């Protein structure tokens, strides 16, 4: 039957397909050293169009993207970070094992024994990221190698062939495909299975691999398991990393700072999570996003571990001078503890303006700068030209009387600014299961229909049903069923479970052939409310009693229907008619002589009362009760019966089953069914 297969098409290789929605985020370091994320939403008609757009336009801002695409899906490193949304293609296909995975490659270790069992481990994957894995194996050709799986097998028996029957408990979005359907041993002892798709669930999955081995004339199933870890959704950029940043309905996102201070001072952080919350913590608490939407997360870190540097002191004007006219300036710099931290002279005999180049690291404190004129060579005391105070953030001209000083202070902390996104998709409406009722006859099936027409998967007892991805599913086993729906955004939602029960069907209505009369063999199988129906060559006959006279060879069937449950059982067999016996001779029905007859109680535990009202007299009458084998268990003869009559009959000593009350005379015969409990 046709099905719809979910295939992820990613932009790395520009494959054929239709891309309905793709969210791309890339980060570019600008000339001012700020990191900015750009978000674009493309609605494109094909990958060919998008790839051709990149190749032909070659716009400067797209070059990092094009380069990254050339390197592959996981080539997003350095200053460029790409994260892609989901794109699905729904194709009508016929499922075999499952479908649509590329061919796998057999890769078993060279060191393996020839006759052994080997099953490769599954590599980890990531939520909503393309996944492809080879599961290589080597199959044993002798039962001795698999006795630990099935100790009931006799040892040293050759295994003729093996096939992969099912792989269950894969996360939604992944399918599997073996490199061939059957492996004929011993020639084909190595094989592989390709698992591919896009996982739409994350967590640790215990994947069950069931193989069917043909041992002589017997088939035996064995199940192995391998663990598959699918990492939760995440995003990583130069500023921070997020886990669970893509959710359905709601999501709780954990943040990791990619610029940790590691205990150093000079780091200041600013977070705006887009949900109304902000933080200045280095490692903020997890954030909850409980409404569908796209939430921009703004991050900023200012890294000021170097501090400010005093690079120049310029004396613009000064009121002091030597006796000869020009001053010999020198400076003295004190910190807030009044400790002399710097003393240096300027060129002698120089008039302002005069500059002193420096490379002095400033702390976050208040400094005192003294400007002096050196008069020691003239035998006089030095002159203090003036004193000014400043901090690392001072940018203005400093003055003290006639002294005017300009300072050049360089302070360039590193700043990283990043914008990334948390995406919460709208949760689809919970799917429902439509069905006629919750019980069905054992051996029959019940049609289950999902409320969605595509992207569904059926589950039985909590495990996915192999290849059950259609809107409708025929359930044949009692138990718990539910169905999942996967939205185009990758959101998986499950229905409420339903519980199906099977109803016991009636026993097979076996019949015997006695002189061309087919009769029900065991009336004990008949319930209180039942119907019998005869068939010839699958054609419905008019007879509904426990016996029928036949005159033609052929296939005859008797169907027993339990009217209280609707369950039915059909018994069929071929009948060869004895041509020497004619069971079709006409017999008058005494019902024409009877106005009314009542048998009560029916069913009965033994005592039976028969009330009869005759329309005309009947001569030479015999009243009897016979079992299904035709044996009489009661009989009474009368010369003449007329008018209203009552008979009391006791069959309490007889076994349970169906009995016939028979009234016969020379005018004809009539009979009625009575059920003995």
- What is the CATH classification number for the domain harbouring 474? 2.60.40.10
Pick the last residue of a domain from 424, 455, 487: 424
Residue 604 DSSP class: B
435-445 tens-digit pLDDT: 999 999 998 99
Please state, in angstroms and rounded to a whole number, the distance separating the CA atoms of residues 457 and 466.
9
Is residue 613 in a domain? Answer: yes
Question: Structure tokens of 418?
Answer: 């990043």
Which residues are within 8 A (CB) of 165 and not within 5 positions of it... i.e. 6 or more apart? Answer: 210, 211, 212, 221
Which residues are within 8 A (CB) of 492 and not within 5 positions of it... i.e. 6 or more apart? Answer: 172, 200, 201, 248, 484, 485, 486
Predicted TM-score of the model (pTM): 0.53
Is residue 341 in a domain? Answer: yes
Is residue 315 in a domain? Answer: yes
Tell me which residue of 8, 20, 9, 98 sits closest to 469, measured CA to CA: 98
β-pairing verdict for 131-138 and 190-197: antiparallel
Which CATH number do you get for residue 615? 2.60.40.1930
- Is 135's pLDDT higher than 60? yes
Note whether 281 and 419 are same-domain residues: yes
Cβ atoms within 10 Å, residue 199: 25
Which residues are within 8 A (CB) of 44 and not within 5 positions of it... i.e. 6 or more apart? Answer: 19, 22, 50
Note whether 50 and 106 are same-domain residues: no
∠ Cα 7 12 15 (to 5°): 55
Note whether 515 and 663 are same-domain residues: no
Max mean pLDDT range (69-78, 167-176, 274-283, 368-377): 274-283
Mean pLDDT for the stretch of residues 388-413: 90
Which residue is it, tokens 């097998």?
Answer: 153
Is residue 487 in a domain? Answer: yes
Pick the last residue of a domain from 410, 443, 477: 410
Is residue 21 in a domain? Answer: yes
Note whether 285 and 419 are same-domain residues: yes
Which residues are within 8 A (CB) of 379 and not within 5 positions of it... i.e. 6 or more apart? Answer: none
Note whether 670 and 621 are same-domain residues: yes
Pick the last residue of a domain from 378, 410, 442: 410
Tell me which residue of 672, 605, 247 sits closest to 421, measured CA to CA: 247
- Regarding predicted confidence, which is higher, 491 or 213? 491
Provide DSSP, 421-432: EEEEEPPPPPP-
Note whether 419 and 283 are same-domain residues: yes
- In the prediction, which pLDDT does 58 show? 30
Question: Structure tokens of 355?
Answer: 């500059």
Note whether 313 and 299 are same-domain residues: no
249-288 tens-digit pLDDT: 999 999 999 999 999 888 999 999 999 999 999 999 999 9
Question: Structure tokens of 210?
Answer: 């069931």
Note whether 539 and 608 are same-domain residues: no
- In the prediction, which pLDDT does 521 show? 79
Note whether 292 and 420 are same-domain residues: yes
Helix (H) or strand (E) holding 184: strand 183-184
Question: Structure tokens of 113?
Answer: 């024994």
Is residue 582 in a domain? Answer: no
Note whether 124 and 263 are same-domain residues: no
Report how many domains make up the chain: 7
Is residue 583 in a domain? Answer: no
Note whether 294 and 313 are same-domain residues: no
Residue 459 pLDDT class (50, 70, 90 cuts): very high
Please state, in angstroms and rounded to a whole number, the distance separating the CA atoms of residues 301 and 471.
52
Q: Domain range spanning residue 546?
A: 511-575
- In the prediction, which pLDDT does 534 show? 93
Residue 185 DSSP class: T
Is residue 129 in a domain? Answer: yes
Note whether 111 and 224 are same-domain residues: yes
């Amino acid at each position: 039957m046709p099905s719809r297969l979910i295939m992820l098409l990613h932009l790395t290789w520009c494959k054929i397909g239709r891309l309905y929605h793709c969210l791309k985020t890339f980060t570019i370091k600008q000339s001012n050293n700020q990191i900015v994320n750009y978000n674009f939403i493309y609605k494109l008609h094909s990958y060919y169009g998008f790839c051709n757009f990149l190749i032909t336009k070659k716009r400067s801002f797209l070059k990092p993207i094009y380069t990254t695409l050339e390197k592959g899906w996981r080539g997003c490193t350095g200053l460029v970070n790409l994260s892609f949304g989901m794109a699905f293609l729904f194709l009508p296909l016929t499922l075999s094992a499952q479908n649509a995975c590329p061919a796998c490659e057999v890769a078993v270790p060279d060191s393996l024994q020839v006759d052994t069992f080997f099953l490769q481990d599954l590599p980890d994957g990531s939520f909503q990221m393309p996944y492809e894995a080879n599961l290589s194996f080597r199959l044993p050709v002798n039962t001795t190698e698999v006795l630990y799986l099935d100790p009931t097998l006799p040892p040293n028996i050759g295994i003729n062939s093996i096939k992969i029957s099912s792989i269950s408990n894969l996360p939604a979005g992944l399918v599997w495909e073996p490199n061939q359907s059957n492996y004929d041993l011993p020639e084909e002892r190595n094989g592989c299975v390709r698992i591919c798709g896009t996982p739409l669930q994350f967590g640790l999955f215990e994947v069950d691999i069931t193989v069917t081995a043909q041992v002589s004339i017997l088939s035996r199933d064995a199940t192995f398991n391998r663990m598959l870890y699918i990492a939760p959704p995440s995003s990583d950029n130069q500023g921070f990393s997020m886990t669970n940043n893509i959710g359905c309905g709601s999501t709780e996102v954990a943040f990791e700072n990619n610029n940790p201070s590691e205990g150093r001072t000079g780091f200041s952080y600013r977070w705006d999570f887009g949900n109304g919350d902000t933080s200045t913590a280095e490692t903020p608490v997890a954030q909850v996003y409980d409404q569908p939407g796209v939430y921009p997360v703004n991050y900023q870190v200012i890294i000021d571990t170097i501090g400010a540097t005093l690079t120049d002191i310029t004396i613009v004007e000064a009121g002091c001078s030597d006796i000869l006219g020009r001053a010999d300036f020198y400076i003295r710099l004190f910190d807030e503890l009044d400790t002399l931290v710097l003393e240096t002279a300027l060129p002698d005999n120089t008039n302002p303006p005069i500059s002193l180049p420096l490379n002095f690291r400033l702390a976050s404190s208040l400094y005192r700068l003294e400007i002096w004129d050196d008069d020691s060579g003239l035998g006089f005391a030095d002159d203090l030209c003036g004193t000014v105070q400043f901090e690392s953030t001072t940018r203005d001209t400093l003055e003290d009387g006639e002294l005017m000083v300009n300072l050049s202070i360089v302070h360039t902390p590193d700043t990283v600014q990043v914008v990334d996104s948390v995406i919460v998709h709208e949760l689809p409406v919970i799917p429902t299961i439509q069905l006629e009722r919750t019980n069905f006859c054992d051996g029959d099936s019940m049609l289950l229909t999902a409320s969605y027409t595509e992207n569904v998967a059926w589950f039985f007892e909590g495990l996915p049903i192999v290849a059950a991805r259609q809107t409708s599913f025929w359930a044949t086993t009692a138990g718990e069923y539910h169905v999942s729906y996967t939205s185009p955004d990758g959101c998986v939602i499950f229905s409420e479970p339903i519980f199906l029960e099977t109803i016991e069907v009636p026993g097979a209505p076996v019949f015997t052939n006695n002189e061309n009369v087919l009769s029900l063999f065991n009336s004990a199988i008949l319930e209180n409310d039942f119907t019998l129906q005869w068939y010839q060559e699958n054609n419905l006959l008019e007879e509904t009693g426990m016996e029928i006279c036949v005159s033609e060879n052929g296939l005859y069937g008797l169907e027993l229907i339990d009217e209280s449950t609707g369950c039915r059982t059909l018994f069929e067999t071929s009948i060869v008619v004895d041509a020497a016996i004619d069971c079709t001779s006409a017999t008058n029905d005494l019902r024409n002589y009877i106005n009314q007859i009542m048998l009560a109680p029916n069913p009965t535990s033994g005592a039976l009362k028969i009330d009869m009202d005759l329309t005309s007299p009947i001569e030479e009458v015999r009243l009897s009760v016979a079992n299904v084998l035709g044996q009489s268990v009661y009989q009474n003869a009368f010369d003449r019966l007329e008018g209203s009559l009552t008979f009391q009959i006791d069959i309490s000593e007889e076994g349970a089953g169906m009995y016939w009350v028979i009234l016969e005379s020379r005018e004809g015969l009539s009979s009625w069914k009575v059920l003995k409990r």
